[in-house]
Amino acid sequence: MSYERPADLARALALRAEGGRVVLAGGTDLLAATRARELRGPVLDVTGVAEMQGVTLSAEGLRLGGAASWTAVARAPLPPACAGLQAAARVVGSTQIQNRGTVAGNLVNASPAADSVPPLLTLDAEVELVSLRGTRRLALGAFLLGPRRTALAADELLVAVHVPAAALAGQGAFEKLGARAHLVISIGMAAARLVVAGGRVVSAALAVGACSPVAQRLGAVEAALVGRPLAELGEALDPAAAAAALSPIDDVRADAGYRRAVAPELLRRALLACAPAPETAL
């Protein structure tokens, strides 16, 4: 049988261990990339696996099942820290893509322009990788090795994405710059999560996508924000430091110089969008 859609993880892992099957979730990247308009060879369709379903909040944090669609993520009642992730879920692709595509697939596909990555980085997300050999968890930053390269082993499935409870504090935001208003692959994007107390920054998480081979957190820039008063947030962000942390390339969507110039601005906007900001009202 060439098309398998197992209902449980044990069966899925057994099929995965046999090798030779292409793993299919939403199919929005995989089928789009086939010249033949259909997948050749055996398919392992993981969308029926019970253990990979759902978007769930618990005391441990947030769990996104490996088969959870963008639409499911966008519609789930999640804390404000996840606002950036949910914003990304609403801007990624079209309605039809959101209905089929999965966050886990976006990670495994490992495009430098993957919309889910910067917000998940600011949420300290981990991926749960399971095989017949066992289960391991990797920080998202360690899972993504480069463009189209991940740490996923040939017998593993990405069963879930986890956000620890501690990272669900504060307010998140996401800014994306494409060539047009809608349905475009990002030229650049930024995500931020800000925890504030007493009018000052307690902690900040910043990430930029599509401006380096793998989206990345900007630790030094974040550290410089801690303790700063909210009113100074816009100035507190050091654009030179942010730009220095990136290594954008020229591609069909824009040139590197443009990315280097706009990335700090995107970050600044994401950051400001996280701040409780009554003073910005006109």
In DSSP terms, 65 is beta-bridged to: 160
The torsion angle over the Cα atoms of residues 143, 146, 149 and 153, rounded to 10 degrees, is -30
Asked if residue 19 binds other proteins (CB under 8 A), the reply is no
Asked if residue 249 binds other proteins (CB under 8 A), the reply is no
Asked if residue 38 binds other proteins (CB under 8 A), the reply is yes
The torsion angle over the Cα atoms of residues 83, 85, 87 and 90, rounded to 10 degrees, is -140
Which one of 23, 43, 68, 74 is in contact with other proteins (CB under 8 A)? 43
Which one of 73, 130, 167, 176 is in contact with other proteins (CB under 8 A)? 176
Asked if residue 32 binds other proteins (CB under 8 A), the reply is yes
Which one of 175, 205, 236, 267 is in contact with other proteins (CB under 8 A)? 175
Q: How far is the CB of 282 from other proteins (least distance, A)?
A: 6
Which one of 31, 145, 165, 224 is in contact with other proteins (CB under 8 A)? 31
Asked if residue 178 binds other proteins (CB under 8 A), the reply is yes
Asked if residue 20 binds other proteins (CB under 8 A), the reply is no
Q: Which of 76, 127 has the CB closer to other proteins?
A: 76
Which one of 5, 63, 75, 200 is in contact with other proteins (CB under 8 A)? 5
| Sheet of 61-65, strand order | 55-58, 61-65, 157-164, 126-131, 134-139
In DSSP terms, 69 is beta-bridged to: 102
Q: Which of 33, 197 has the CB closer to other proteins?
A: 33
What per-residue string of b and e applies to 123-147 under the rule 16 or more CB within 10 Å gives b? bbbbbbbbbeeeeeebebbebbeee
Tokens of 55: 């978007």
CA distances in angstroms from 71 to 36, 90, 163, 168, 275, listed in the order given: 28, 7, 18, 20, 26
Q: With CB under 8 A as the contact rule, which of the stretches 22-30, 132-140, 151-159, 199-207 interacts with other proteins? A: 22-30
Q: How far is the CB of 142 from other proteins (least distance, A)?
A: 28
Binding mask 130-159 for other proteins (x = CB under 8 A): ------------------------------
Count Cβ atoms within 10 A of the Cβ of residue 80 and give its class: 0-12 exposed, 13-18 middle, 19 or more buried: middle
Give the count of beta carbons closer than 10 Å to the beta carbon of residue 118.
34
* Cα 137 to chain centroid, rounded: 16
Contact positions toward other proteins, by CB under 8 A? 1-3, 5, 24, 26-28, 31-43, 45, 47, 87, 90-91, 93-97, 99-100, 174-185, 187, 231, 233-235, 239-240, 252, 254-255, 257-258, 261-262, 264-265, 268-269, 272-273, 275, 277, 279-280, 282
